């Protein structure tokens, strides 16, 4: 049986899709701008604090 494709890692998720990563590139800034304009509650992946 093959390995499962979704093996979540918080650090990897933050580094790939996090807010600071978005700010680093021009395209990422455009994504944040679009999400702000749309009124998204969360702009980028955030750590869930329980």
In a domain, 29, yes or no: yes
In a domain, 5, yes or no: no
Structural domain including 32 reads 10-42
Q: For residue 25, give the H/E element and its range.
A: none
Tally the domains of the chain. 1
Q: Give this prediction's pTM.
A: 0.79
pLDDT at 31: 97
The candidate with the shortest Cα–Cα distance to 14, out of 46, 49, 50, 41, is 46
Give the separation between CA 31 and CA 8, rounded to whole angstroms.
23
pLDDT at 19: 95
pLDDT at 46: 86
């Amino acid at each position: 049986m093959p390995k499962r494709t979704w093996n979540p890692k918080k650090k990897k998720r933050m580094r790939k899709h996090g807010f600071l990563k978005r700010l680093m590139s021009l395209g990422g800034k455009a994504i944040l701008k679009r999400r702000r304009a749309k009124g998204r509650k969360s702009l980028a992946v955030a750590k869930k604090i329980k």
